[in-house]
Structures are given as C-alpha cells and as structure tokens.
Amino acid sequence: MPRTLITGGAGFLGSHLCERFLAEGHEVICMDNLLTGRIENIDHIRSDKFRFIKQDVTEYLYIDGPLDYVLHFASPASPIDYLEMPIQTLKVGALGTHKTLGLARAKKATYLLASTSEIYGDPLVHPQPESYWGNVNPIGPRGVYDEAKRFGEAMVMAYHRFHGLNTRIVRIFNTFGPRMRQDGRVVPAFIDQALTGRPLTIFGDGGQTRSFCYVDNTVEGIWRLLMSDEADPVNIGATAEMTIRQFAEKILEMLGSKSEITFLDLPVDDPKTRCPDLSKAKRILGWEPEVPLEEGLRRTIEFFKQQLKIK
Ligand code: UDP
C-alpha cells in the first residue's frame, strides 16, 4: 500500500486530495497547522489508513516509516489571506517547500508541488502556456504568494536536477467547489451574497477575466500528473473564460437571486486576464475538465446552502 503525505490536507483542495488518495488505496498522512485549513474538512474521513498531524510545515518535519509520495499543498490561498498572513504565506511557499523536499529526498518519495497560475502574474501572453515566464510584481500585495511559489518551483527543479529527485509541478488555475472558505474569493463570495440577498461585490468594472475549474477535475489532473513522469510544470484549470461581471450574472441567474451588484475598488495587481493553455495537459495526461461549470456550481451552491442552513 503506497503511503502519501499531503500538506495542507485539511484545506479545500487538500481535503479533496486526501479523499481521492484514500479511494485509490493509499495510506494518507494529512499535515496541517489549521491556519486556513479546517478540521471540519476532514472530520468525515473515517479510516484507519488516515492520520492527521497538526504541524507547521516550515518547521523540521519528522515522519515515522516510509513515504512513497509527498504532496505540498499547504498555503494561504486568497488575496485577503495574503494581506493578513504575508509572512506565513512567504514561509510556507519557500521554507515549507524546502522542508517537504528534504523529507521526500530522505524517504526517496515522489514529490509534487502545488504551484499556481499566479506565477504568470498579470499575464502579457494569453492564454498562458507553461513556457511563459510571467509578469509578476515582487513587491505588491500578491508578491508574497507569487514569489514564494516561483521560488518553490525553482527549488523543486534544483532538487530534481541536483539530487535526482522524482518531482512534479502543477500550476493550478482558479478552482472551486465544496469546502471553500469565505476567504474573499469570488466564487464563495458571490454565492454567499446571492443566497443571503446582499449585493454582489464586483471589484473594478468586472471586465477582468477568469475561468473556473471544478475541484474534482483539478484533483483528477493532479492525480494523472503524479502518476506520469513529467518533471516540468503542467497547467491544470478550465478554459471557459468569462468576465467577472458575466460570472456575477450567472450566479444571480442560477439562484434566481434579486441581489444587486455593487462595484468596489479593484485590488492592487489584480490580473486583467487569466486562462490556461491546456495543450500540454491534454497531450501528456490525456486530461481536460469533465464536470462542466454549471454542474460544479450547482454542487457548490448546495454546499453553501447547507452551511447557511437554507433549504
Ligand atoms: N472579485 C470580485 N469580487 C469579489 C471577489 C473577487 O470582483 O468579491 C474578483 C477579483 O478582483 C478577481 C476575480 O474576482 O478579479 C477572482 O478573484 P479571486 O480572489 O477569486 O481569485 P484570483 O483569481 O484573483 O486569485
């Protein structure tokens, strides 16, 4: 039975990964300091093959016994989190990547880094292929996340080239689904606002674009990448690009909500466009998103209704 460590395993993406790896027959060790992760996300996982360790991954890591895979998913993940936890965000992306790489090397495990579309910054190439180097402001409010992830990618490639470690880098684009926190990101924010009759808060004029990938699709892409032998980064995300204004209208329509729309200031360095070039994921992994946006949104809306105890 393979043994897998998932850092950030009590977070949104991490908890879905824990479920998937258990379903694939892995023994899963979930490590999280619960800074933005939540114990409720893994409470329902009942298995003698699952262990939770509360720990900050920027400290020295000790795991008893063998490990076959190390997946580093611990990190604050929303622009509001970066403002509130800038040092922790830098540390977990940089020092946490170093510590988890060291652990993977000691255990001769295969390593996967959760990287991000943010490494492309406010992109000048559209859609973004993996060959694009990005347009990142190192000293802006998002710099703490973007630069830590860029450092993390460099560190992974150094371990791969210098130590011969078996490594993967997934560049995850906007992903949504059940168990997201209300952390200011657009999907939970708009659904919550529409469900409770408050105005939808569009930042800027809402002309900026994103594409939203349902979590099950993202998890499938990550699984396939881990099982491949591709050491260079691979984009995983959705390509149904839309403006944030269109997205607000979609949420209002799906919920039949009468919420108004209000326009607030655009955060500093908010990317104007973002959409993955998925050619490489299709070619190498035979992967593209299966669950369509609307179906994913329906499942996510159900989750938030349960949270709000709305029938
Ligand atoms: N956004 C918005 N209203 C909100 C939250 C976010 O208009 O209440 C916008 C935000 O400015 C960005 C997009 O939605 O252009 C996606 O934001 P999110 O924080 O979800 O992720 P990002 O793609 O910026 O990392």
Residue nearest to atom 19 of ligand 1 (CA): 185
Measure the CA–CA gap between 158 and 154, rounded to whole angstroms: 6
Show me where the domains of the chain are located: 3-176+213-239+281-285, 186-208+241-274+291-308
pLDDT of residue 311: 82
Q: Is 191 in the pocket of ligand 1 (CB under 6 A)?
A: no
pLDDT of residue 141: 96
Measure the CA–CA gap between 300 and 291, rounded to whole angstroms: 12
**Contact status, residue 304 vs residue 191, Cβ threshold 8 Å:** yes
CATH architecture classification, 3-176+213-239+281-285: 3-Layer(aba) Sandwich (3.40)
* Phi and psi, residue 39, nearest 5°: -65, -30
Distances (CA, A) of 195 to 5, 190, 233: 37, 8, 38
Average of pLDDT values for 158-170?
99
Ligand 1 centroid–CA 229 distance in Å is: 34
Active site residues: 145
The total of other beta-carbon atoms located within 10 Å of residue 116's CB is: 23
Average of pLDDT values for 208-219?
98
Top mutation candidate among 36, 185, 191, 242 for ligand 1, by most atoms within 8 Å of CB: 185
Measure the CA–CA gap between 133 and 120, rounded to whole angstroms: 6
**Contact status, residue 145 vs residue 75, Cβ threshold 8 Å:** yes
Q: Is 76 in the pocket of ligand 1 (CB under 6 A)?
A: no
| Fold match flag (3-176+213-239+281-285 vs 186-208+241-274+291-308) | no
pLDDT of residue 7: 99
The total of other beta-carbon atoms located within 10 Å of residue 212's CB is: 23
Average of pLDDT values for 252-269?
97
Nearest of 175, 157, 153 to residue 166 by alpha carbon: 157
Q: Is 243 in the pocket of ligand 1 (CB under 6 A)?
A: no
Q: Is 189 in the pocket of ligand 1 (CB under 6 A)?
A: yes
What pTM does this model have? 0.98
Q: Is 115 in the pocket of ligand 1 (CB under 6 A)?
A: no
pLDDT of residue 27: 98
Q: Is 30's pLDDT higher than 90?
A: yes
Task: Indicate the CATH number for domain 186-208+241-274+291-308.
Answer: 3.90.25.10
Q: For a pLDDT cut of 90, what percent of the chain falls above it? A: 99
pLDDT in tens, 287-308: 999 999 999 999 999 999 999 9
Q: What is the mean pLDDT of the chain?
A: 98
- The CA-CA-CA angle for residues 71, 34, 268, to 5°, reads 85
